[in-house]
């Protein structure tokens, strides 16, 4: 069995964003990413210069840590990153399912994996123009196809009106998918405090800019963990 590059494993805490917001969750943050979003809030799981902080773990070791953290109670596990899709989490999902754990995965949709079909939730987060990345839609559609009948949804981070217009266009391509919009956090430096008032203002703007223009489809949700814990890691 090949090793997994793991930036951090933590929980139980609540999922802070997206359709599963508020759900008790264990997080497996995979190390490594094929994107370099300019506003990335998890550079410690992305940049290779942080790789000395990543652990090489076997699937069994990751599972043992999840069981230890949850006291053996089966619960939801979120595979995030970085981009977890550049590694093989299929064996972990199989092992966890055997013990009653459920698995969600958050990925930008740039790398399709056959284990997407085993997920209890696939969250695809295509990155908007403000990220500096450009979505390869053929690859994105391959991710959707790989997931088959697994529950899935879109989550799009919105920093500005350009992102919002883009999100609406993207959403139009996927009318069958549940959709969440999330205001961007421009101040994700873990060394800096967060201004909850400023985050609330961004959410207020996004609600007004979306619903106020008659776009009534998306759920609009903040990053709850940032509102509660700022940019602190491991919560």
Total residues in contact with a copy of itself, by rule CB under 8 A: 32
Task: Please report where in the chains the tokens 């997206």 appear, as a residue.
Answer: 18
Subset of 20-39 contacting a copy of itself (CB under 8 A): 21-24
Subset of 213-232 contacting a copy of itself (CB under 8 A): 214, 216-222, 224, 227-229
Q: Tally the residues of the chain.
A: 235
Verify binding: residue 90, a copy of itself, rule CB under 8 A: no
Verify binding: residue 70, a copy of itself, rule CB under 8 A: yes
Q: Are 59 and 92 in contact (CB under 8 A)?
A: yes
Verify binding: residue 9, a copy of itself, rule CB under 8 A: no
Q: Which stretch binds a copy of itself (CB under 8 A): 29-37, 55-63, 67-75, 137-145?
A: 67-75
The dihedral through the CA atoms of 138, 16, 25, 20 has a sign that is negative
105 has binding-site annotation:
no
Q: Are 121 and 36 in contact (CB under 8 A)?
A: no
39 has binding-site annotation:
yes
Query: Which stretches of the chain are DSSP H helices?
Result: 59-69, 90-98, 137-147, 161-173, 196-211, 224-229
DSSP-assigned letter for residue 20: T
Binding site for a copy of itself (CB under 8 A): 12-14, 21-24, 70-71, 73, 75, 180, 196-197, 200, 203-204, 207, 210-211, 214, 216-222, 224, 227-229
């Amino acid at each position: 069995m090949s090793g997994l590059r793991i930036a951090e494993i933590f929980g139980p805490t609540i999922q802070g964003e997206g359709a599963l917001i508020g759900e008790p969750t264990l997080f497996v943050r995979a190390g490594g990413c094929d994107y370099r979003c300019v506003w990335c809030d998890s550079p410690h799981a992305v940049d290779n210069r942080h790789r000395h902080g990543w652990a090489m773990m076997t699937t069994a070791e990751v599972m043992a840590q999840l069981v230890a953290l949850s006291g053996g109670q089966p619960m939801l596990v979120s595979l995030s990153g970085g981009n977890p899709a550049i590694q093989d989490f299929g064996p972990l999902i199989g092992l966890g399912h055997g013990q009653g754990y459920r698995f969600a995965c958050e990925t930008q949709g740039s790398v399709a994996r056959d284990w997407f079909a085993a997920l209890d939730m696939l969250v695809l987060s295509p990155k908007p123009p403000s990220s500096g990345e450009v979505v390869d839609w053929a690859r994105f559609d391959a991710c959707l196809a790989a997931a088959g009948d697994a529950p899935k949804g879109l989550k799009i981070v919105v920093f500005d009106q350009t992102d919002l217009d883009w999100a609406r266009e993207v959403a139009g391509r996927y009318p069958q998918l549940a959709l969440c919009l999330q205001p961007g956090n421009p101040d994700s430096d873990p060394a800096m405090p967060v201004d909850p008032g400023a985050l609330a203002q961004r959410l207020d703007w996004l609600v007004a800019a979306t619903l106020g223009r008659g776009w009534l489809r998306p759920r609009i949700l903040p990053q709850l963990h940032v509102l509660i814990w700022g940019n602190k890691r491991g919560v």
